[in-house]
Amino acid sequence: MMATVLQSRVTFAGLSFDPLVLSEPLMWLVLASFLGSALLHHRDEQWARITAVTGWGLFGAFWFVLIPHFVLTQKSFVEGIGSVAAVPLSLYAGYLLWNGRDSLFVLTRAVGTMGIVYVPFLTIEPLRQFLVEVVTDQTGFLMALLGVDPVVVDGFSHNGIEIVTKQYPYESTFWFDHEEGPVTYNILLACTGIGSISIFAGAILAVSAPWRRKLRALAATAAVIYVLNLFRNVFIAISFGRQRMQVFEGPIMSLFGISDPRMVSYYLADRILAQVGSVVVLVGLTWILVRELPEMTVLVEDLLFMLTGNEYDLEAAFHTPDAETSATPGDD
């Protein structure tokens, strides 16, 4: 049987535990702590603080458990660095909140809200399947407009060849035939943009602002992320499926520890260009949102303080009006 080239690995070879399995109970504990803190905040601030600080400690443990998954299994520099940095930042957030930086209650609420948006897609299979297959269809449509029309495969095999580490038997795999063997690109939940959308949804919905402005900002942000993510999928699928980025094969194979040279196009397109580009886009969207929804400055200021140790006044820097004067009667 000819082996297929896969988009990513979901097993953790050589180790005795699966980080994804260990992270799941931590995820639920973090979500319960952050949402519990939000519910307690207006009734008993001390218990809300204790609950939130506990949640930040668990959040640090959550990211610590996932470090091997992002660094060794996914071989992602961006996600690997992010998961490593998230551990001390989570613990530091809990420390600052315990010592009286009450603005971090907003960030706590934001992370809890992110979970409310994202976790249903992670845990409810019909919802996850619907989103993954819709994104697959739309990615395929855009590729067809560019003259690229791979076979879209459901199940765990095609033409007698097993798609070894495909997570779910959805119609979500683009199959490119090559003389050396097929190249497959799987659309996963991570490829739908829901993760990035949930981050911004949590931040937007957590701040104190008129609902009309928040919903308008959320709709615009979600639409931009969703469309850009489709183009990201098209770029990776064509680059990998058509082997368009077979450059610096030796260095890339050594850098990522891969043995099949056909994976070079995937790692260049996704792990380097697409992921770095995504970070740039998210930073740009945050900059725009801070200007359009000035109430979000409290979140950005706290994050900047944790990263640099310096206080920032973004309201002054962006010349944004305060929340009280910026709202109009029609915003309510």
Q: Which long-range contacts (CB under 8 A, 24 or more apart) does 83-92 make?
A: 86/59, 86/60, 87/60, 87/63, 88/60, 89/306, 89/307, 90/56, 90/57, 90/59, 90/60, 90/63, 91/56, 91/57, 91/60, 92/306
- Provide CB contacts within 8 A for 50, sequence distance 6+: none
* Parallel, antiparallel or unpaired: strands 173-176 and 183-186: antiparallel
Largest Cα–Cα separation, the chain? 68
25 vs 39: CA distance, rounded Å: 21
Catalytic, 191? Answer yes
Q: How many helices (H) and strands (E) does the chain have?
A: 13, 5
Burial environment of residue 196 by CB neighbours within 10 A (0 to 12, 13 to 18, 19 or more) = buried
Catalytic annotation, pick one of 49, 109, 213, 232: 232
For residues 324, 327, 330, 332, the Cα torsion angle rounded to the nearest 10 degrees is: -60
- Secondary element (H or E) of residue 77: helix 77-98
Q: Pick the catalytic residue: 49, 191, 213, 271?
A: 191
- In sequence order, the β-bridge partners of residue 244 are none
Q: Where in the sequence numbering do the catalytic residues fall? A: 191, 232
